[in-house]
Structure 1
Amino acid sequence: AEKAMIVYRRSLAEMPARVEEIHHAMAEGVEFENLISPVEVIGDENKWVAGLKCQRMELGEPDDSGRRRPTPVEGSEFILECDAVVVAIGTRANPLLTATCPDLKLNQWGNIDADENGMTSIPGIFAGGDIVRGAATVILAMGDGKRSAKAIDDYLMAANTEST
């Protein structure tokens, strides 16, 4: 990737990550865009990712977690140009995952079953980080992402070769 960015709806102070994880990510060149909430993934005419529609947020009163609740700033929507989006929310699989993706195999702990390159039981679908390992550090998730990025590239190149 030319650059990697984390878009987060709260500030760094409210981010549920360890300080050293944030510092390591920054040292790796990851950019943090705070007080921004993703709204929609934008595709081009070929259905490839072209951008991420986002909305600026402001912090309100604390919620049940003790962190200040993000609220949308009206009229602040914008498009962040990008060619890939990785959703990273929470540390457990969504319980609806098997209902919406019945061919996706989960392991005994309810995490997505993936090989060492992140390939799941559905060809072309890759996973890594907490959704595969369970709760762990962002550094391990970044390592999974780097390995999967290479595997995704290999997969797409092979698919492209087969179609020509």
Structure 2
Amino acid sequence: MFALHLQLMNKRYLIVFDDVWNIDEWYEGLMSSGLPDEGLWAGHLRLDRVLPKDCGGSVIVTSRLEEVAVKMVGEENMCRIEPDKDGECCWNIFTDSVTEGGLADDHPTLRSMKTEIVDRCGGLPLAAKTIGEILRGSLSPAETSAPENKLHP
């Protein structure tokens, strides 16, 4: 880790650990390898303490388990993202995923199911995107195209 620290000094970087579920032997080994046993480095197994940040370096850790993220970056560096409360964000993500140009409001069946779709997403953007992509496959091409290409009864 010390060698990585030296390589990243005076550089801009972005390191992303996505969907971390646990701190395993690999991470603990990485964090303890090559670190001096004294001073600033002693006993620090957190990314926020061992990587340089002076030139714009950043680390992003995403996890469904708060205690894992806290161990990696510390409580003071946590940014908690709450589910979408009113569902409007999820509806917009859903419409962008299910139709070209986000035109689900023009689709009577989808419009009538808006409340149910938003409720099923549970405020989670990934759920909205996934549901939209699944439903997109079940709509005909005419139903998912731009309004000028739609056939109106």
State the TM bucket, normalised to the shorter chain.
Answer: under 0.3
Q: Pick the structure with more strand per residue.
A: 1
When normalised by structure 2's length, the TM-score is 0.25
Q: Which gives a bigger RCO, structure 1 or 2 (Cα 8 Å, sep 6+)?
A: 2
* Structure number with larger C-alpha Rg: 2
When normalised by structure 1's length, the TM-score is 0.24
Q: Pick the structure with more helix per residue.
A: 2
